[in-house]
Structure 1
């Protein structure tokens, strides 16, 4: 494996470390409280993981991964605002976090033909597999759209039962995609998540969806 490939793998692995850490933190705190919690650190780690995984997906020319992170990105920011964390971040960091997605989209628009060729005509990812991966990422990401709508109605950051049900379905889909893509980063990250999502459903049984 080349140094470049190792560097890309390291970025993806670090992203999954953040994602796994968020699940572990949320799981431990929920077990202690005997109810499903939405801790601030969960959202901090989510944002860090999404930022790195988006870079990983870009370097891998994997549209499914990039798309998944873009959809949930601002939901993480909203939850950080609800938790009172966003306002405490340095202004420079907030500006970088706010404007990274628009800058990336601008680069894509300016190089649309190259983007389409690299991401949709990638010989390593057949179209049917790309569509399957995109479906899994959309399903997995929809949990944060659902969580945002649920929390916004109540004006509190919460992780309802429906969030964990969608998480389970999406995680299984992405894990299968990772197996088909021989992507160890996705396989390891999602395998751990499946156990935690099922446990959160058990802890919060009887809670509103």
Structure 2
């Protein structure tokens, strides 16, 4: 049982390791950083907020994860990242439109 697990881990994390896996890890790291940024910003003001950087990390991580999922031919991730990118871009559009109307924001 343990030998099978070790073989599986070796196959997944060593034998299959290539540039695409590196891209996937970078993408996942960027995507995770959006939550770190949001958490730090919220801690600083003492309430839950979503800073603009959250949406930029969402877009960066989402684009890289979409590229990775297309390469891996994973329809679940392709659909999920495509919808997510639409939402992230729309949120940035709304934020910048609001700032154009009221530069004091």
Name the TM tier (shorter chain).
Answer: 0.7 to 0.9
Q: CA RMSD in A?
A: 2.1
- Correspondence list, 1:53-202, <5 A: 113-114=6-7, 116-122=9-15, 125-202=16-93
Output the TM-score relative to the length of structure 2: 0.80
The structure with the largest alpha-carbon Rg is 2
- The change in CA–CA distance for 1:156 and 1:118 in structure 2 (over 3 A counts) is farther
Cα gap change, 1:115/1:159 in structure 2, threshold over 3 Å: closer, same or farther?
Answer: farther
| Total equivalences in the alignment | 95
- Counterpart of 1:121 in 2: which secondary structure? helix
Q: Residues 112, 150 of structure 1: CA spacing in aligned structure 2 closer, same or farther, 3 A cutoff?
A: farther
Counterparts of 2:95 and 2:20 in 1: how far apart (Å)? 34
Question: What TM-score, normalized by structure 1, do the two folds share?
Answer: 0.42
Please, which runs of 5 or more residues in structure 2 have no aligned partner?
none
Structure 1, unmatched stretches of 5+, are 1-110
